[in-house]
Structure 1
């Protein structure tokens, strides 16, 4: 089964680049099958990781950034693949 973990944070205004750099520097051990990082208006950063694991598996996740860098707690979601089409 493929599980996708989504991690989304909103930086303090004007610090989106710093948050993006911080998120990209975080290493996961073991590493996921795939990892993508996105940015959006309002200094938001989104990281999606894909894992070959059961839905409820213990998986490494990105931590919370320093509270001085973000405007609120990180949002996290877990999804399981239901295929394509």
Structure 2
């Protein structure tokens, strides 16, 4: 089964590049099948990792960045492939 983990954070206004750099410095441990880092308006950064694992497997994720970097708590979602 393929499981996708999504991690999305919104930077403090004007700190989007700093948040992106923080994400790149904090490599996810383990060996995901695939990983993508994306950004969007409003200084948002999204990280998606794909894993060959059961849906409820314990998988590594990025931690919360410091409060000085993000404007709200990180949003996290888990999905399973159906196709």
> What TM-score do you get using the length of structure 1 for normalisation?
0.95
The aligned residue for residue 68 of structure 1 is 68
TM-align CA RMSD? 0.6
The aligned residue for residue 11 of structure 2 is 11
Q: Which stretches of structure 1, 4 residues or longer, exceed 4 Å deviation after superposition?
A: none
The aligned residue for residue 49 of structure 1 is 49
The aligned residue for residue 79 of structure 2 is 79
> What TM-score do you get using the length of structure 2 for normalisation?
0.97
Unmatched runs of 5 consecutive residues or more in structure 1? none
Unmatched runs of 5 consecutive residues or more in structure 2? none
Give the Cα–Cα distance (whole angstroms) in 2 for the partners of residues 43 and 28 of structure 1: 21
CA shift digits 1:29-65 (9 cap, x unpaired): 2121110000000000000000000000000000000
